[in-house]
Amino acid sequence: MGVTKLPKSNNQSDKKVATIVFGCQMSERDAETLTTLSADLGYKPTEELKEADLIIINTCCVRESAENKILGKIGELKRLKENNPNLKIAVSGCMVQQPGALAKLQKRAPHVDIWTGTHNLHNFPAMLEHSHAKGKIAEVVDTPLAITELPRREKGKLRAFVNIMYGCNNFCTYCIVPHVRGRERSRPAAEIIGEIKDLVANGCREVTLLGQNVNSYGQDFTPTYDFADLLQEVDQISGLARVRFTTSHPKDLSDKLIESIAQGRHLCEHIHLPVQSGSNSILKSMNRQYTREYYLSRVAKIREIIPDVSLTTDIIVGFPGESEDDFAQSLDLVRQVQYSQAFTFLYSKRSGTLAAVMPDQVPLDVKKRRLQELMKIQTEASLKWRERMVGRIYEVLVEGPSKTNPERLTGRTRGNELVVFNGDSELVGKLIPVQMTEAGSWTLVGEVVYNGHKEQE
């Protein structure tokens, strides 16, 4: 597979770009790339939409609720465009990439200047130049031709997302992702390692390796080289404090991988392991390719080898055909596993997926009631998980001032728990010991431990 390197330019101007991101980390990373490509054409990033000369919206289509929010946002930009006819609006990503979506979107939002999907980000500068010289442009290609090494220019960024693979081969029956991201393609390890070394040289301390199913990384390589091999190599990169990854499909979670995480010095003891449902008949109809028993046996193995591991998950309620008994099995599984956190979703019909045409779609009021029940149980489990941490000392990577209380600092434990504490801003970017003093459902409060003593307030 060919790799294209993009040239770097040093264009200077007063133009500004504002970027709005919807969706997953992959979408965030893509948006970062589009912002960087715009910066190469002289656009400086801004958070103020009103002062922007270019607004990029990178979209998500995984659920209808995301799409509705995005359509609302695109609609709001119409007024800005009326006040500033020179403003360029670009809409990119998964929502645009959906088969048959472009024509409908163009009709609904004629004020948008650039439409592009997920496969041709590298062409964004050309699209932007086209929109200036010749007017509106839409470019959505069906197949990604090559893995393009997309630029990164971040300096002093503490945490970064790094793509290790693109696409997905799993075709879970509810999911639009394989339809908008294509088939699995793994990036060569040397390229990934090179990118991480560059990030570290520019101040990065933590990377999150991204893929729709990182556990199948390298299945397209000969000779064989798998995700555990990659993790072991990344773990050796000097200066890198922490390595995270997402997402792990339970069917491909090998013992070798679990052991690598246990042995790695910088590999965080956190596994996001989406279960989706606790019922075997629903798992089958979702095409998840594992059973409840297999999933629970993986959890048991993980906990045996990495005793303090933080497990998080994704769960869908109201998948077509989900009975009260099926749902009760999801509740039971959540009680049993005791996740530190769970992302819970109402099933959303995605056109083009197999589940969208399945019989026995669950009524919205039933889905909503089930979601409430599930969230109640998970909130209790999350609180219990954090309460268990109180009194103990954890290694925290200090990220910066707390968003809710800028006088204080925040950071994360290796298990990805958010902690708020008092401390000097010089601690930002450092790994420090923090003793947990108080637990909430979403965050913990802690005190920095200096030379074995807690901070005196």
What residues make contact with ligand SAH under the rule CB under 6 A? 62-63, 174-175, 177, 212-213, 247, 249, 274, 276, 314, 316, 345, 347-348, 350
Partner touching 432 among ligand SF4, ligand SAH, none, CB below 5 to 8 Å by kind: none
Our finding on whether 165 is near ligand SF4 (CB under 6 A) is no
Partner touching 350 among ligand SAH, ligand SF4, none, CB below 5 to 8 Å by kind: ligand SAH
Q: Are 218 and 226 in contact (CB under 8 A)?
A: yes
Written as six digits, the tokens of 200 are 């570290």
Written as six digits, the tokens of 285 are 């109809």
Is the Cβ of residue 200 or residue 275 nearer to ligand SAH in the bound state?
Answer: 275
* Residues of this chain, 216-255, that bind ligand SF4 according to CB under 6 A: 249
Q: Strands 341-346, 310-317: parallel, antiparallel or unpaired by DSSP?
A: parallel
| Near ligand SF4 by CB under 6 A: residue from 150, 172, 271, 436 | 172
Helix (H) or strand (E) segment spanning residue 454: strand 453-454
Our finding on whether 179 is near ligand SF4 (CB under 6 A) is no
Q: Position 410: which residue type?
A: T
Partner touching 345 among ligand SAH, ligand SF4, none, CB below 5 to 8 Å by kind: ligand SAH
Interface segment toward ligand SF4; rule CB under 6 A; list 16-24, 75-83, 88-96, 163-171: 163-171
Interface segment toward ligand SF4; rule CB under 6 A; list 48-56, 122-130, 164-172, 277-285: 164-172
* Residues of this chain, 96-155, that bind ligand SF4 according to CB under 6 A: none
Our finding on whether 170 is near ligand SF4 (CB under 6 A) is yes
In Å, the largest CA–CA distance within the chain is 66
- Sheet strands (E) in 22-150: 44-45, 54-59, 88-93, 114-116, 137-139
Our finding on whether 212 is near ligand SF4 (CB under 6 A) is yes
CB closest to ligand SAH, residue no? 314
Alpha-carbon distance values, 139 to 119, 123, 181, 182 (Å): 10, 9, 15, 16
What is the residue whose two structure tokens read 């639009």?
176
Partner touching 171 among ligand SAH, ligand SF4, none, CB below 5 to 8 Å by kind: ligand SF4
For residue 143, the Cα-to-chain-centroid distance in whole angstroms is 22
> Rounded to the nearest whole angstrom, what is the least distance from the CB of residue 376 to ligand SF4 in the complex?
25
What is the residue whose two structure tokens read 């933590």?
206
Question: Which of 322, 446, 447, 453 minimizes the C-alpha distance to 386?
Answer: 446
Provide the angle, in degrees to the nearest 10, between the axes of the packed helices 292-305 and 324-337.
10
> Rounded to the nearest whole angstrom, what is the least distance from the CB of residue 330 to ligand SAH in the complex?
12
CA distance 357 to 199: 45
Interface segment toward ligand SF4; rule CB under 6 A; list 153-161, 174-182, 392-400, 439-447: 174-182
Our finding on whether 439 is near ligand SF4 (CB under 6 A) is no
Whether the ω angle into residue 250 lies within 30 degrees of 0, i.e. cis, is no
Q: Are 253 and 297 in contact (CB under 8 A)?
A: no
Partner touching 63 among ligand SF4, ligand SAH, none, CB below 5 to 8 Å by kind: ligand SAH
Interface residues with ligand SF4 (CB under 6 A)?
Answer: 168, 170-172, 175, 177-178, 212-213, 249
